[in-house]
Amino acid sequence: MPDKEDLSEVISCDLAVKLFSGFHTKEIKIPKEEVSYLKKISLEEGFDPYCTIDIWYATKLAGYGDVLKPDEVFLSNAFNEISSPIKNKSPEDSCLDYVYLRTIKECTSQFTFTDVLQRDIKNNVSKDLEEHLYYLTHVIFFNLKFGLKKYDELSKSALEELIGLLTDPATGNKILDAKYCDILGEILIAFIICGSRDIPIFYEIEKIIENVKNVSDYHTKTVIKVYNKLNAK
C-alpha cells in the first residue's frame, strides 16, 4: 500500500490524464464512484493538501461544482502559504505556488492575488531555467483549461517566451537533453494544445522524448502517456 505522499502523486497524475483527455473530447469525465472515493481519501489525516486542491479543480471542470471544495480554514491556510514572503522561497517553491494560485483562482474568486505577488512569483521562478519552463507550461495549461479551450491571445506571450528559451542556444542547449524528459514532455503537450506542432523545436524535442526508455518516475511516465495520447490524433 503506497504512503499518502505517493498516493497523492498518483491521484494528481491520474487526474491530469483525465483533464488533458478533454483536448479531443471537449469534456472531462470522472465517474461518480471515483468522486466518492476522492472525497473520502481527501478527508483523511495527512493527505497532501496540494492534491486536495487538484481534486477540487478537476472535479469542478468535470461538472461536479464545489462538491469537493476544501473548507474555509484549509483555503485560508493555502492562500497564506502562497502569499508568504518570496525571499524565503526557492524557484521550485514559487513554481508550485503559481500552480496552486492558478488552481484556486480558477475555482473561486474569494481570494485576491495581487499583481505584485504574481510578478514576484514569475521573477523568482525565472532564476532557474527548468522551473521557468515548468511555470510557462502551466500558464498555458491553465489558460487553456488543459486543452478544453482553443488557443487564443491569452497564451501567446507564454508560448513565445517558451519557444524563445528553447531556441536560444544559451538556454536551449542546457535543457535539450533526455535527463530533462519530464519538462520536455510537458513542453510538447503545451505545443500540442496550442496548435504548434509544426515548428522545428517540436520535432527536435520529440526525437529526444521518443528515445527515452525505462522511465520509473510516475510523474514522468504520466507526462509521456499524455503526450502520446494527444499526439496520436
- Mean pLDDT in residue range 38-54: 93
Q: Is 129:173 a contact under the CB 8 Å cutoff?
A: no
Residue 2, pLDDT score: 46
- Mean pLDDT in residue range 27-36: 97
Mean pLDDT of the chain: 95
Confidence of residue 1 (pLDDT cuts 50, 70, 90): very low
Confidence of residue 45 (pLDDT cuts 50, 70, 90): confident
Helix H, strand E, coil C: the string for the chain is CCCHHHHHHHHHHHHHHHHHHHHHHCCCCCCHHHHHHHHHHHCCCCCCHHHHHHHHHHHHHHHHCCCCCCCHHHHHHHHHHHHCCHHHCCHHHHHHHHHHHHHHHHHCCCCCCCHHHHHHHHHHHCCCHHHHHHHHHHHHHHHCHHHCCCCCHHHHHHHHHHHHHHHCHHHHHHHCCHHHHHHHHHHHHHHHHCCCCCCHHHHHHHHHHHCCCCCCCHHHHHHHHHHHHHHCC
Interatomic CA distance for residues 79 and 81, integer angstroms:
5
The 10s digit of each residue's pLDDT in 187-221 is 999 999 999 999 999 999 999 999 999 899 999 99
CA-based R_g, the chain, Å: 17
Residue 122, pLDDT score: 96
Residue 233, pLDDT score: 65
Interatomic CA distance for residues 61 and 157, integer angstroms:
25
Q: Is 85:117 a contact under the CB 8 Å cutoff?
A: no
By mean pLDDT, which of 4-18, 45-59, 127-141, 202-216 is the weakest?
Answer: 4-18
Q: Indicate whether 109 pLDDT > 90.
A: yes
Q: Is 190:141 a contact under the CB 8 Å cutoff?
A: yes
**What is the pTM for the complete model shown?**
0.95
Residue 5, pLDDT score: 55
Interatomic CA distance for residues 179 and 185, integer angstroms:
11
- Name the residue ranges covered by the structural domains of the chain: 1-70, 148-233
Confidence of residue 139 (pLDDT cuts 50, 70, 90): very high
Q: Indicate whether 3 pLDDT > 80.
A: no
Share of the chain above pLDDT 70, in %: 97
**Which residues, 6 or more positions from 105, have their beta carbon under 8 angstroms from its beta carbon?**
111, 113
